[in-house]
Amino acid sequence: MQNLFYEVDSLDKHCYEELHLSEDILMEHAAYGMAQYIQNHHITAKSVLIVCGSGNNGADGITLARLLHGSFKVALFLHKDPNTEIGKLQLQRTKALGIQPVQELEDADIIVDALFGSGLNKDMDQNTSALLEQLNLFTGIKIACDMPSGLNKDGHLYKHAFVADTTLTMGALKRGLYSDKAKENVGCIHQLDLGIHRDLYERPSNWKILDTDDLKPPFRDKKNTHKGNFGHLSVLHGQKEGAAIISALSASSYGAGLVTLVGDKITALPYSLMQDETLPSNTTAIACGMGLGKDFQRDRLSKVFAHDIPCVLDADIFYHSIAYDIFHRDIIITPHPKEFVHILRTIKLADISVQELQDNRFYYAELFCKSYPNITLVLKGANTIIAKNSSFFINPHGSSRLAKGGSGDVLSGLCGALLAQGYSPLESAVQASLAQTLSAEASEKNSYSLNPEDIIKGLSTLS
């Protein structure tokens, strides 16, 4: 996993004041990193259009023009003249090589957006919006310098924003790049060093991005074991029993030694699952809410929650008031945005729309975790947030493959399986989220045909 940062000005300041690295040095390395990336990854490209704003993001672009000059046909377009001293100096250096800014925009093999980066903090004017629209219509490969223009450090996407194939971000990874709204605009994200190793540039952060190699499947190393060593997950089912069955099958396929459906008798139960009307005495974890229905009897829920057993809550359970009676416990909740908005309203933390949540996912995740530090939150989305207390993780591996009924039931089953096997709630949630997304990503099926059974089947190939 890698660190994520809301802002990097303080990291740059440390370089200036403690490491004696000037702004000029950092900018030269940023531009050199971009130049190297372009030269190494786009060897057939011949022309580059670099569009620059007036701030330091624009100065990065001006510096890049100088470094690419001679290797490519470089067109440098200044949307506005530099207003920083380093920007003026970089333009002076560039002009000294005979590079004169162009007055008209023309398509090129590579389009570099160096208008704003992470510095955007207000709505754009009409001319800038029109410029971004024009750039997006060009056919060249599109590269964003630091952050796509139109995306700010909070992850908010303005009406007009650059749509990048690749984002080359400077020094450290910015949290705003991983909002749900940013997913369509950032493309592939690559971090560039600024003259020192990133471990020396960065400071500890309580926000992390999850990498594929963070996945640690629950492999069984001991030979002298039995099913009881791997826990017993009880899945409470209600009127839509199919959702609970999907969760149960998911749990069984991810290491739970025993899985029982608890509730009224199911006539067509898969042979690998058990069922019972009451909670088995050897239950080590509970999964509840998937297909439960909003009219499920409160006294039956009360009997289940009377057992202080590790628990994952999902879906319909959030519409039962009794669920909030155990919000003081060390549990996992896995809401999608609409459910999370309902939760925030019920616990009187915020009365917001789904749109407002999606515009401010990081803020509301932090607000919830500050108020309920014992709960592990899995806020589902294109970039799922997994959080507890002051620890926050983003899983960026989600895709449209998961946009189908039952995918969330798979996730709750994975969380329950790991809880049953003795994992902590936070570790269960992190590992479950990774397992779900990476299984979907690895499937050979196309994006629209993947179903929950395929995700469950793919769990067996994770390594």
CB contact set of 341 (below 8 Å; sequence gap of 6+): 352, 353, 354, 357
Q: Per residue of the chain (463 residues), what is the pLDDT tens digit?
A: 999 999 999 999 999 999 999 999 999 999 999 999 999 999 999 999 999 999 999 999 999 999 999 999 999 999 999 999 999 999 999 999 999 999 999 999 999 999 998 767 778 889 999 999 999 999 999 999 999 999 999 998 888 899 999 999 999 999 999 999 999 999 999 999 999 999 999 999 999 999 999 999 999 888 888 888 899 999 999 888 999 999 999 999 999 999 999 998 888 888 889 999 999 999 999 999 999 988 888 888 999 999 999 999 999 999 999 999 999 999 999 999 999 999 999 999 999 999 999 999 999 999 999 999 999 999 999 999 999 999 999 999 998 889 989 999 999 999 999 999 999 999 999 999 999 999 999 988 888 999 999 999 999 999 9
How big is the CA angle at 406 (ends 402 and 407), to the nearest 5 degrees? 30
Q: b/e map of 62-73 (b: 16 or more CB within 10 Å)?
A: bbbbbbbbeebe
Q: CATH code at 375?
A: 3.40.1190.20
List the domain range (segments joined by +) for residue 272: 213-461
How big is the CA angle at 65 (ends 60 and 68), to the nearest 5 degrees? 120
Q: How far apart are CA 446 and CA 441, in angstroms?
A: 10
Query: Which of 181, 205, 229 is the endpoint of a domain?
Result: 205
Dump strand ranges (E) for 9-133.
Answer: 47-52, 73-78, 110-114
User: Based on the domain organization, do 388 and 268 belong to the same domain?
Assistant: yes
The tokens describing 105, both together, are 């925009």
Residue 385: CA count within 13 A, CB half-sphere: 31
Q: How far apart are CA 461 and CA 463, in angstroms?
A: 6
User: Based on the domain organization, do 165 and 259 belong to the same domain?
Assistant: no
Count Cβ atoms below 10 Å from residue 235 Cβ, excluding itself. 34
pLDDT tens column, 5-49: 999 999 999 999 999 999 999 999 999 999 999 999 999 999 999
Q: How far apart are CA 337 and CA 261, in angstroms?
A: 27
Q: How far apart are CA 292 and CA 138, in angstroms?
A: 50
User: Based on the domain organization, do 157 and 228 belong to the same domain?
Assistant: no
Identify the three-state secondary structure at position 29: helix
User: Based on the domain organization, do 232 and 333 belong to the same domain?
Assistant: yes
Asked whether the CA dihedral 104, 105, 108, 110 is positive or negative, the reply is positive
The tokens describing 285, both together, are 């974890």
The tokens describing 201, both together, are 């540039």
DSSP symbol at 375: P
DSSP symbol at 227: G
- Cα 25 to Cα 86, 105, 166, 239: the distances in Å are 11, 30, 24, 64
User: Based on the domain organization, do 405 and 305 belong to the same domain?
Assistant: yes
Identify the three-state secondary structure at position 191: strand
User: Based on the domain organization, do 143 and 228 belong to the same domain?
Assistant: no
User: Based on the domain organization, do 218 and 200 belong to the same domain?
Assistant: no
Query: Which of 205, 234, 257 is the endpoint of a domain?
Result: 205
- Is the entire prediction scored with pTM above 0.85? yes
Q: How far apart are CA 414 and CA 408, in angstroms?
A: 10
User: Based on the domain organization, do 255 and 184 belong to the same domain?
Assistant: no
Identify the three-state secondary structure at position 10: helix
pLDDT tens column, 243-288: 999 999 999 999 999 999 999 888 888 888 999 999 999 999 999 9
Query: Which of 205, 228, 251 is the endpoint of a domain?
Result: 205
